[in-house]
Amino acid sequence: MRVADAHADMSSVEAELSAWLDKGFHGDMDYMAKHGTKRTRPAELVPGVLRVISVRMNYTPPAAKEGWSVLHDGNKAFISRYAVGRDYHKVLRARLQKLADTISGMIGPFNYRVFTDSAPVMEVEWAKKSGLGWRGKHTLLLSREGGSYFFLGEMYTDLPLPVDDPVGSYCGSCTRCIDICPTQAIIGPYQLDARRCISYLTIELKGSIPEALRPLIGNRVYGCDDCQLVCPWNKYAKITQEADFAVRNGLDDVSLVELFQWSKEEFESKLAGSPIRRIGYEQWLRNIAVGLGNAPSSPAVIEALQARSHDPSPLVREHVQWALQQHDK
């Protein structure tokens, strides 16, 4: 837990955000362009706020299959490690609430509001300002003690707490995350074209995935961890102690064909409480169809695709058709 001055100068951050939006790098994430300066000026969101408390919570699940081994097996589905357990929003929010209750137990009632990816809050920037870590060239927050496999949460408060100092940047001359990115979405240090990012393409994008990018997605069906897997600082990442983040339904090491055969009811029941459920069944099938298009050709893969060639969803049908064409070349 670290503390930043809620009135700290964010003018350079505002300029960078504005330039990023002007280039259209946010794609369909319209919410990034909404809210004006509320995102960078906490007092416009919570009047009277004096401090931003930033917290982080490790999410690497114990006993999860090693990421590269799944990525290198074209018949398997890779799911970003933050998403193989239960949704983090409730867990982190409950922890922040507990922190607020502890503080009020010590000093009496105080004003606060907690956030977990739930409002226009520049969470990486506040974490950086408070010294929780530095922004890596992949744009995620990095910590020398914990790498980057953690969630961030914030508390805005009117408590005049002492402010922590930022830490230095320790990326040095490393460019591993930029070099490894399958779609070259990190167009330069600290610059992400989200429209090319596999996390955006598989989670945020609602419609058709651009054809040129589909072969580059490989078997990543929900998010992408390559830039984190390759980062040397993640040798310091800690295994989570949080039972809710443990792997559920074998999602760390599961076959594409098996996932593609899930009915809508299975999708809803098996992924109840999972962050994956928010993308919906149609988008889920779309993503797996791309993975199957990139999988080694086999009767099982082709049969699985053919079984969905008349899917009621035009989006799914289009991606299945593309996938079948990949096996017809």
Cβ-proximal residues to 115 (8 Å cutoff; 6+ apart), any chain: 96, 121, 123, 153, 154, 155, 156
Q: How far apart are CA 123 and CA 115, in angstroms?
A: 9
Binding ligand SF4 (rule: CB under 6 A), the pick from 100, 174, 239, 302 is 174
Among 24, 36, 232, 314, binds ligand SF4 (CB under 6 A): 232
286 is annotated as contributing to ligand binding: no
Please tell me the distance from the alpha carbon of residue 134 to that of residue 122, in angstroms, as a whole number.
14
- Within residues 134-153, the interface with ligand SF4 by CB under 6 A covers 136-138, 142
Kindly state the smallest distance separating residue 305's Cβ from ligand SF4, in Å: 35
62: its two tokens: 């114990």
Q: Which of 103, 231, 292, 323 binds ligand SF4 (CB under 6 A)?
A: 231
* CA distances in angstroms from 209 to 283, 319, 323, listed in the order given: 10, 8, 12
> Shortest Cβ distance from residue 20 to ligand SF4 (Å)?
18
Looking at the Cβ atoms of 20 and 115, the one nearer to ligand SF4 is 20
22 is in an annotated binding site: no
- Residues in the interface with ligand SF4 (CB under 6 A) total 13
Residue 117, marked binder: yes
Residues 153-172 as x/- pattern, contact with ligand SF4 by CB under 6 A: ------------------x-
Catalytic residue among 5, 117, 158, 164: 117
Tell me how far, at minimum, the Cβ of 235 lies from ligand SF4, in Å.
Answer: 11
Residue 238 assigned as binding residue: no
264 is in an annotated binding site: no
* Binding test (CB under 6 A) with ligand SF4, winner from 78, 150, 200, 233: 233
12 marked as part of a ligand binding site: no
Q: Which stretch binds ligand SF4 (CB under 6 A): 199-207, 224-232, 253-261, 291-299?
A: 224-232
In the bound state with ligand SF4, the residue whose beta carbon lies nearer, of 52 and 231, is 231
Token pair of 101 as six digits: 């209750």
| Closest by Cα among 45, 39, 8 to 21 | 39
252 labelled ligand-binding? no
Could you write out the DSSP letters of every residue in 163-218?
A: PPPPP----TT--HHHHH-TT--EEETTEE-GGG-HHIIIII--SPPPGGGHHHHT
Segment lying near ligand SF4 (by CB under 6 A), choices 50-58, 106-114, 133-141, 206-214: 133-141
SS3 151: strand
Q: What angle do CA 231, 235, 240 make, to 5 degrees?
A: 110
Catalytic (active site) residue 117: yes
Q: Which two tokens stand for residue 34?
A: 């909404």
Name the CA radius of gyration of the chain, rounded.
21
Nearest 10 degrees: Cα torsion 203, 205, 210, 216: -20
Token pair recorded at residue 47: 């009047």
Using the rule CB under 6 A, which residue among 114, 155, 177, 192 binds ligand SF4? 177
- Angle of CA points 295, 296, 297, to nearest 5°: 110
Q: Enumerate the known binding-site residues.
A: 39, 117, 141, 152, 171, 174, 177, 181, 197, 199, 206, 224-225, 227, 231
Q: Enumerate the known binding-site residues for cob(II)alamin.
A: 39, 117, 141, 152, 199, 224-225
Q: Enumerate the known binding-site residues for tRNA.
A: 206
The residues annotated as belonging to the active site are 117
Q: Point out which residues bind ligand SF4 (CB under 6 A).
A: 136-138, 142, 171, 174-177, 230-233
